[in-house]
Structure formats: structure tokens, C-alpha cells
Amino acid sequence: MSPLDETSARRPRVFSGIQPSGTLHLGNYLGAVKNWVAMQETHECVYCAVDLHAITVRQVRAELRRNTIDLVNLFLASGVDPERSIVFVQSHVPAHSELMWILNTITYMGELRRMTQFKDKTAGAEGESIAVGLFDYPVLMAADILLYRADAVPVGEDQKQHVELTRDLAERFNNAFGKAFVVPEPIIKEGGARVMSLDDPAKKMSKSAGSESSYIAVMDAPDVVRRKIRRAVTDSGSEVRGGPDKPSLTNLLDIYAALSGDAIADIEARYSGKGYADFKSDLAEVIVDALAPIQARIRELEADKSYTLGVLKTGAERAEAIAQRTLAKVRERVGLVPRP
Ligand code: TRP
């Protein structure tokens, strides 16, 4: 029996999503996808390319399509197993938008106005021309999570507030209308989960912040990886060690440790007495070796597009089955007449 069959003994379920909004990089892989792969051992997993979230910022049509498939290919190439986990595209399951509407009716303007991501994204913008979708973004995220009755939601620290809102909305609905939702817990991974920019260790690695050399793209060729690591900023001094006074080295050590599985202390010991250059050239090889099998698998998936589309077809069907069950209960609780 499939682990996702509703009648089998349930493992705790997780739901998580990533926006298909640009070039994929090492931060996406180490910060999220690698952890998603590991969670398949202990959880029932539902993983989603959240394209409806991506369009809260203007996208170029052809790029959005491409980015969505690329993101799904990264999931698959990294080891997300579509036999065990549900992998799908958010817009393929209309229940997300429908539940969002119902949740909108119990969400307060004030709580959305307090979301720090909304405040950051609209800082300096004229209130009159801020898109409603940007404001409502956290409610769509709550719908994503609640539809699948997820017990846990692995997210970065920056999304914790949105999961808190999701919990509040689940409890508010359950109290007002009768229980329909599981109240989910955030899972925030500490330590090496947060990959920082290669040219400014105070910023998160991202494709939008700063220059091309600030991030390692998943598809970067070996020589590009080597060049970017060689140019990555370092801290004053010459010792290869982490610590609050060494933010750049801490980031590079975190990347090394996360990809190699070695403990930071062991890596530091290995490079004691050696300089940054030795460490960096080895780090570049660690990254090149870690990316090689993922890149190879992505190329295979790109060569045969039908495999990914098949995964998404099955994924949407399985997601929809769960989502519809939740939505039916919600509609009943609210008092909407069932469609005859
Ligand atoms: N808002 C999340 C981010 O930008 C993406 C997301 C959308 C998500 N829906 C979700 C994450 C549901 C976890 C669960 O990172």
C-alpha cells in the first residue's frame, strides 16, 4: 500500500513549497531541497512548485514556465522520489485558490499588514499601487499547508511568521466552524541551512541580490564554480576557521560541511596551518562533485520532458484527492450547499 494512501497508518505529513522565480542555486538546494529529500525517510511528503506565489511579482511568461519545470527537475534530480512523495505544481490544483478565498473571510487586514515580508517587499512603495496578491500571499500559503492537513512545514527562518499565521487561521477556523484543519508546526533547520552570498555574508544567497558571482547556480560548469569560489570574499586574517568574527569563512565552511558531511571542527583541523587558497580550491571540488550527479540527472530529464510531465500529472491527481477531501469538509462546516 502506498505510504500516501489515506487508510494506511500515517507518518507525520509535511508540506513545503518553493517559488519558481529564477535561476536555481546552491542556497535552494542546501537550504531546502536536500532536507526535503532526507525527510522522505520519516514523513509523508508533499512538495510543491508554488507558481501562484511567484506571480505576486511580475514574471515573464516563457521564463515562468521554464523556471517551474526546472524547479521540479531539481526536486527529482536531487532525490525527491515521486513514488513516495507527492510532487506537483500549485496552479494545477484549484483547491488552493478556493480555500484561500474562504480563509480570506477570517483573516484580518491588521495581521497581514504586520507580516515582515510584506513590509519588506513594499517598503517605499505607494500604498495605492501595491498588488492585493502580495498582501494576500500568506493566506495562499496557509491554504497550501492546511489543504494537506500537514503536521509540519519545513521552511527558512524568513517564513516562520507565515507558518504562525497559518496556525492562527487554522485555530480560528476550527473554533468558529468546527474542526477541519490540523494545526501545523514549523520546522526551522538551524546551522548550515542558510547559505549566504559569496560576496556579502550578511545577505542570503539569492539570484536577485547582487552580482552573478554572489551565488553558485545549480547548473554552473566546474570552471565557473572554481572561479566563483576563488573570488568569494574572505575575512581578515588567514586562518581557516568559523566564528562570529569570520562570517565569510563560516559560510564557506558551512557549505563545505553540508555537502561533504564532515564536521566543521574536522575541516578546520584539516586546514590548520594552511591558507585560504588551499581551502577554497578544495571547497570548489567538493561543490563540483556534489553538483555533478544532479546536473547529469537534470540533463537527462531535460532530454525526455515526458517523464517530468508524467510525474506532475500523477502528482496533481494525488494532491487533488487529498485537497478535495479537506475542501469538502471546509465547505460543509461553513454552510455552503454541496453541488448536487
Ligand atoms: N512563501 C514560501 C517562500 O517564499 C514558499 C511557500 C509557498 C511555502 N507556500 C508554502 C513554503 C507552503 C512552505 C509551505 O519560501
- What is the residue extent of each domain of the chain? 13-193+305-334, 212-299
Atom of ligand 1 nearest to the CA of 162: 1
| Residue 273 CB coordination number (10 Å) | 10
For ligand 1, mutation pick of 21, 50, 52, 165 (most atoms within 8 Å of CB)? 50
Average pLDDT, the chain: 94
Cα of 170 to ligand 1 centre, how many Å? 17
Residue 336 has pLDDT above 70, yes or no: yes
**What's residue 326's pLDDT?**
98
Cα of 17 to ligand 1 centre, how many Å? 5
DSSP reduced 3-state for 80: coil
> Which tens digit of pLDDT belongs to each residue from 263-286?
999 999 999 999 999 999 999 999
**Where is pLDDT greater, at 4 or 303?**
303
Catalytic residues: 121, 204, 207
Q: Indicate the fold that domain 13-193+305-334 takes in CATH.
A: Rossmann fold (3.40.50)
Residue 190 has pLDDT above 90, yes or no: no
214 CB under 6 A from ligand 1? Answer: no
pTM: 0.94
One CATH from 1.10.10.10, 1.25.40.10, 1.10.240.10, 3.40.50.150 for 212-299: 1.10.240.10
> Which tens digit of pLDDT belongs to each residue from 207-237?
776 688 899 999 999 999 999 999 999 999 9
96 CB under 6 A from ligand 1? Answer: no
Which helix (H) or strand (E) is 135 found in, with range? helix 132-147
Average pLDDT of the segment spanning 72-76 = 98
For ligand 1, mutation pick of 141, 157, 169, 206 (most atoms within 8 Å of CB)? 141
**What's residue 8's pLDDT?**
55
**What's residue 1's pLDDT?**
42
**What's residue 129's pLDDT?**
87
**What's residue 126's pLDDT?**
75
Assess contact for 251 and 201: CB atoms under 8 A: yes
